A and B are shown apart, each in its own frame.
Chain A
């Protein structure tokens, strides 16, 4: 028998018997658009976008959710998420979100911000939004570098870490220390749920999704500010392959930014 024909028959066999509804383990959420992601291969942004939109689909809250995009790599987040969104000025996402939630208190508002946006230029807005306990979710992607502007030092860049503006490594004597802003906001009475997660392996991705689910549930109950830091990677600006960058997250980033809940609501602790 001709080899080519045999292969085709095998494929038909697979499609008919395996690709059936009961065998479905994953589908792209309908709340993600068909626009191709502009993110670099291996970047964590795509994973977090997907997690957020999976939760929005599963909780059936598409008509309730309003997102606020930052300035930075996620500036085009609104191209990928099939929800109403506003694009904020650099660092001002939580002020924009405050404006939205104050006039539409029944909606579920989240911001999606990087480390430069949230923890450098937007520090005042971040702290005061959390301190007022605005009923919003803040998703904070920490990859220790300015991605969009191609690899400058971020407030979360680790000591000794090489970036284009710390070419000899971050010297804390002249460049300051990594700003652990998640630890800071956990101290504020306005925050309800503060957690640090990662998306560098399948287990962590699942945990991160659970945290996002919890946060949206808390927003529905109007509990106050929820803050999720996601320790992520930047293969392009770290000059690493995707695999190497995830290894760096595991071996260097996570020991400096330990994962887990920093502030858990009392009723959750029981």
Chain B
């Protein structure tokens, strides 16, 4: 068993970055994730020589990631919703230039400056683009402090494996809450993937390496788009991750990601005490989305209630998966409000069931 510690989600994430052999972190303070930059500033360099730099803005930090990832190093940044918005141009360039890196969004309520309280309002931004052009991030949604740590290691490996940026989409509550976490052992710096494409200085034995996303000839640009789409398809086939809870005998399915899924687990328990056969599906990868598990369960159940801390974003993907085979309804709270298990069950009993 690994080392056990009681940690905040943000701290566990930072600790996991060091242990994953991350080479460089570039970031800018923003609530509710500033602990990541603080923890790394304190711990990282002395332990592994990992570079930690406070940039002048999120715009600068994402472009520093571009440079460091293009130089073949394990690089990451973290921010919260408004800061992630500022990074979108850079994220599009990184996806286009196929640079592996990790971007963490400890999201908060929006739109605008919004609130510093937790929210899931950035689902669309994370999974449907956010920046310009046809690209995809691999998006991991942790729902515990343990997963804040584990998904850093997983994220770096997926990024290197597919030469694609990976986003961890957490929220302010997961970032701030303290839980027991089992830490994995210290891994060597930089990971184990070879990166012959990186700009490390042109030696006599190879052609020059160029990191770019510019292809003026539309035929060439289309070719690159087709290659990217092929990669995203492969990711959809191989990297889908989700968790199910008591779905085997369920009449009704609750579905939620991240913090919402923790709450819904409780709803399943108290609902079953009242005699409702509830089950839960929690997507772990938001891209690739677990379409198949919904489409299969849709034939067996009487309906699906999607719960999110937003105005209804993931529910669109749930409906696409189900494709009309069963009823899909949505319950959500916005602006930094966290729904309670009781209010979700009340909605289920008084609205969802009566709508049958």
Q: Do the beta carbons of B64 and A95 come within 8 Å of each other?
A: yes
A250 at the interface (CB under 8 A from B): no
Pick the residue among B67, B97, B201 that contacts A63 (CB under 8 A): B201
Please indicate the chain A residues that have their CB under 8 angstroms from the CB of B56 in the complex: 124-125, 128
Contacting residues of chain B (202-245) with chain A, CB-CB under 8 angstroms: 202-204, 208-214
The interface residues of chain A lying within 8 Å CB-to-CB of B155 are none
* A100–B90 CB distance below 8 A: no
Q: Are B64 and A102 in contact (CB under 8 A)?
A: yes
Whether B64 lies near A96 (C-beta < 8 A) is yes
Which of chain B's residues have a CB closer than 8 A to the CB of A128?
Answer: 55-56, 60
Whether a CB of chain B sits under 8 angstroms from the CB of A64 is yes
**B65 interfacial contact with A, CB 8 Å:** yes
Q: Please tell me the number of chain B residues within 8 Å of chain A, measured between CB atoms.
A: 39
Query: Given the complex, which residues of A lie within 8 Å of B70, measured CB to CB?
Result: 86, 96, 99-100
B68 CB-CB contact with A under 8 Å: yes
Cross-chain contact A86 with B211 (CB below 8 angstroms): yes
Known A85-B210, A86-B67, A86-B199; 7 more pairs at CB < 8 Å: A85-B212, A86-B212, A87-B212, A92-B66, A96-B70, A100-B67, A100-B199
Q: Are A85 and B200 in contact (CB under 8 A)?
A: no
Q: Are A102 and B51 in contact (CB under 8 A)?
A: yes
B27 to chain A, nearest CB (A): 12
Known contacts A66-B201, A89-B93, A104-B71; A99 and B65 CB within 8 A of each other = yes
Residues of chain A within 8 A (CB-CB) of B69 are 99
Cβ distance A73 to chain B, nearest Cβ, rounded Å: 13
- CB-defined A-B contacts under 8 Å, sample of 26: A62-B201, A63-B201, A68-B67, A83-B201, A83-B208, A84-B200, A85-B208, A85-B209, A86-B70, A87-B211, A87-B212, A95-B55, A95-B66, A98-B53, A99-B63, A99-B67, A99-B68, A100-B67, A102-B51, A103-B67, A103-B71, A104-B201, A124-B56, A124-B59, A125-B56, A128-B55
Q: Is the CB of B199 within 8 A of A92?
A: no
Asked if A240 is at the interface of the complex by the 8 Å CB criterion, the answer is: no
Is the pair B60, A124 in contact by a Cβ cutoff of 8 Å? yes
Q: Are B51 and A103 in contact (CB under 8 A)?
A: yes
CB of B57 within 8 A of CB of A124, answer yes
Bound CA–CA A76/B212 (angstroms): 10
Residue in chain A with minimal CB distance to B61: A95
Once bound together, how far apart are the Cα atoms of A98 and B214, in whole Å? 21
Q: Which residues of B contact A95 (CB under 8 A)?
A: 55, 59-61, 63-64, 66-67
Query: What's the Cα separation between A84 and B210 when bound, in Å?
Result: 6
**A75 at interface, CB cutoff 8 A:** yes
Report A90-147 residues with CB < 8 Å from chain B CB.
92, 95-100, 102-104, 107, 124-125, 128
> A88: which B residues are within 8 A, CB to CB?
63, 66-67
B265 part of interface (Cβ distance < 8 Å) = no
**Shortest Cβ distance from residue A222 to the other chain B in the assembled complex, whole angstroms:** 15
Which of these, A83, A103, A125, contacts B75 with CB under 8 Å? A103
